[in-house]
Amino acid sequence: MTYEVRLGRAEDHEGIAAFTTDTFEWGDYVADSFLGWLDAPDVEVLVAIHASDGPVAVATLRQPGPRQAWMAAARVRPDHRRKGLADRLNDAGVALARRRGDRVSRLAIEDWNEAPQRQVERLGYRPTSRWWFVREPVESVERLPARERLEPTPPSPEIWATWQRSAYASGGRGLVGLHWTWWTLTPDDLAGFASDGLLFGCPAGWALVEPLEDRLAVSWMCSADADFSRLAD
């Protein structure tokens, strides 16, 4: 079979949506996001086209941090799998990232999804860190005294200095994660988070806090080791 890998177009949406609706038990986000990605200035959409079947694979490329690429949303239509399409999409994304000056390409895979892990290791990726997601019911948390509560805060040299010497920065390779994208944190990022109303602080430390539908998402925390439990509370 002959395939062409190119940038995505609006005309590809129907074909992409046909095989990216029920990827997981909960569904998928690709079909709903595809057209928005095409209009987003920070997203490149890569699509594999088959002469007869149209769009049969898709992936996205972002630049979340300086000279860093993030690959995500890789999907291949079931009847076109094991044709090397995921490799070709990755190669096209890495080539595009290299042309714009990126020095590293990253991605994330769930720990239970072993086949893609083996595939990307063949492509030259290597595991650098593992991330856990936990939930805490709000009903079980006691309301803290006012002086202990998180409040919006501006960025400061203290936050950056604390982060750089923390075990959480070294254990996570200096990465910050937001909306399923990871990149190397910089002081400019902290300023941007504060501007967006996401950076909060209290005497125990700082955190990125974001309301998401029925939950409060905390995607990054920074504190002295002895204060981490207080910050989590």
pLDDT digits (tens, 9 = 90+) for 120-133: 999 999 998 888 88
Contact yes or no for 72/62 (Cβ under 8 A) = yes
Comparing CA positions, the residue from 217, 183, 177, 222 lying closest to residue 201 is 222
| Spatial separation of the C-alpha atoms in residues 81 and 49, rounded to whole Å | 13
Q: What are phi and psi of 27, to 5 degrees?
A: 115, -135
Q: Which residues does residue 7 pair with via DSSP β-bridges, in sequence order?
A: 46
State the burial class of residue 210 (Cβ atoms within 10 Å of its Cβ: 0-12, 13-18, 19+). middle
Residue at 153: amino acid letter: T
Residue at 94: amino acid letter: V
Give me the pLDDT at residue 80, please.
96
Comparing CA positions, the residue from 104, 98, 107, 48 lying closest to residue 73 is 107
Tokens of 55: 């769009």
Q: For 216-229, write each residue's pLDDT tens digit.
A: 899 999 998 889 88
- Of how many residues is the chain composed? 233
Comparing CA positions, the residue from 205, 187, 203 lying closest to residue 195 is 187
Q: Which residues does residue 218 pair with via DSSP β-bridges, in sequence order?
A: 209
Q: Which residues does residue 181 pair with via DSSP β-bridges, in sequence order?
A: 178
Give me the pLDDT at residue 22, please.
86
Contact yes or no for 131/95 (Cβ under 8 A) = no
Tokens of 170: 């070294």
118 contact partners, CB below 8 Å, separation of at least 6: none
Number of H helices and E strands in the chain, helices first, is 8, 11
21 contact partners, CB below 8 Å, separation of at least 6: 27, 28, 31
Comparing CA positions, the residue from 121, 125, 28, 21 lying closest to residue 70 is 125
CA angle 202, 204, 207 (to 5 degrees): 65
The predicted model scores a pTM of 0.88
CA 116 distance to own-chain centroid: 17
Give me the pLDDT at residue 196, please.
96
Give the residues of the chain that fall short of pLDDT 50. Answer: none
| Spatial separation of the C-alpha atoms in residues 144 and 85, rounded to whole Å | 52
Give me the pLDDT at residue 1, please.
61
